[in-house]
Amino acid sequence: MHLDWTALGEVTVVSIGVTVAVVVVFALGVLGLAQVEDARGRDGGTHTLGLAQAGLCFLACAAVVAYGIYLIVPQFH
């Protein structure tokens, strides 16, 4: 039995990198929602940029998850 340690290391590094990136993007989405709530509490309005930021960030997270499921499930290929 032969293990390709280089490939295993590459998979590990990419997995950790993508995980950190998704967590950062999700945190930016939560920050956008916090800006909306802060604007609503201050002057009763909405912070459109924060809402757009949250929507795009959560959409990006959902796209990464959907792509991961696509890669894992063989019936989708």
Of the pLDDT bands very low, low, confident and very high (cuts 50, 70, 90), residue 76 is confident
> Rounded to whole angstroms, how far apart are CA atoms 58 and 22?
10
pLDDT one-digit tens code per residue, 16-75: 999 999 999 999 999 999 999 998 888 877 789 999 999 999 999 999 999 999 999 999
> Rounded to whole angstroms, how far apart are CA atoms 77 and 64?
17
Which pTM value belongs to this model? 0.86
pLDDT at 44: 79
pLDDT at 36: 93
Which residues are within 8 A (CB) of 30 and not within 5 positions of it... i.e. 6 or more apart? 54
